[in-house]
Amino acid sequence: MKDRPNVSLWSDISNAIKGELGGITGAPTKGTFIVFEGGEGIGKSTQAKLLKAWLEQEGESVVLTREPGGSDLGIEIRKILLSHSTGEISPRAEALLYAADRAHHVYSVIRPALAAGQVVIGDRYFDSSIAYQGAGRVLEPGEVARISRWATESLFPTLTIIIDLPAEIGLARLKSKDRLESQPIDFHERVRQEFLQLSLLDPERYFIVDGNKTIDQTHAEIITRVSEIGALKRNAREDKGNLLLRPIRAAGKAVKRAAPKKKAKTKS
């Protein structure tokens, strides 16, 4: 295991994320890209679905996707990454497999949707690699960030929503555990801390919500923040200076549908 002296480490990640280690090579995009991040069992997928319903209610065309496994190729990579039958994968190979999944996902799903003016909601993106492979596997987070920048041609989310919960609580919600979820508790606690540290690098891009709140409360907080995104149709329709006056209504029906569901396996 490697020592991770704080100062150089954080400036390195910060540089990698901000693109100071090379020019921005990604094609310009339109559209809005919102990503959900966090540890295990935090309710990410539920919130992503509720946000999709709300955005559609607001007149947006929305693509909900996930990593790993958001493309046909990605479905195959996902099986390798998460199946217990794969056995041990070296940390660097694991990081590269996630990056390969992401590269093809961005190329074949995310960029085309953004170019068509759609809102893309991602269930995990490159911050997961920094947290899981960087901090969890104790690779160098700055290097992992750089691999993702290359893989995505520097496609950054408009907004990254981190649902924060102590690892112990999230893991206790899972009914069964895949290869990553089966890692020891200190792995998952490192992952959580890394997400929190990442959010400090760019407070405008990251939004942290408390995973201990109810589904409805969390949804309400999320749509309040998302409604501030200037590129959304709801804001384009408004006079400048009057943006916050348009009422924000939760995707009420969707909340009611989602809340009582008890799944056999509680995914985040």
Residues 149-188 close enough to bind ligand TYD by CB under 6 A: 178, 180-181
Kindly tell me which of 98 and 156 has the beta carbon lying closer to ligand TYD.
98
Binding pattern for the stretch 228-267 against ligand TYD, x by CB under 6 A and - elsewhere: ---------------------------------------x
Q: Closer CB to ligand TYD, residue 32 or residue 266?
A: 266
Among 29, 31, 60, 68, binds ligand TYD (CB under 6 A): 68
Q: 219 vs 267, which CB is nearer to ligand TYD?
A: 267
Cβ at position 37, least distance to ligand TYD in Å: 9
Q: Map the chain to HEC letters.
A: CCCCCHHHHHHHHHHHHHCCCCCCCCCCCCCEEEEEEECCCCCHHHHHHHHHHHHHHCCCCEEEEECCCCCHHHHHHHHHHHCHHHCCCCHHHHHHHHHHHHHHHHHHHHHHHHHCCCEEEEECCHHHHHHHHHHHCCCCHHHHHHHHHHHCCCCCCCEEEEEECCHHHHHHCCCCCCCCCCCCHHHHHHHHHHHHHHHHHCCCCEEEEECCCCHHHHHHHHHHHHCCCCCCHHHHCCCCCCHHHCCCCCCHHHHHHHCCCCCCCCCC
CB of 188 to ligand TYD, least distance (A): 9
In the window 125-154, what residues touch ligand TYD (CB under 6 A)?
128-129, 132-133
Q: Quick check: 33 binds ligand TYD (CB under 6 A)?
A: no
Residue nearest to ligand TYD according to CB distances in the complex: 132
Q: Which stretches of the chain bind ligand TYD, using CB under 6 A?
A: 40, 45, 66-68, 82, 98, 123-124, 128-129, 132-133, 178, 180-181, 267-268
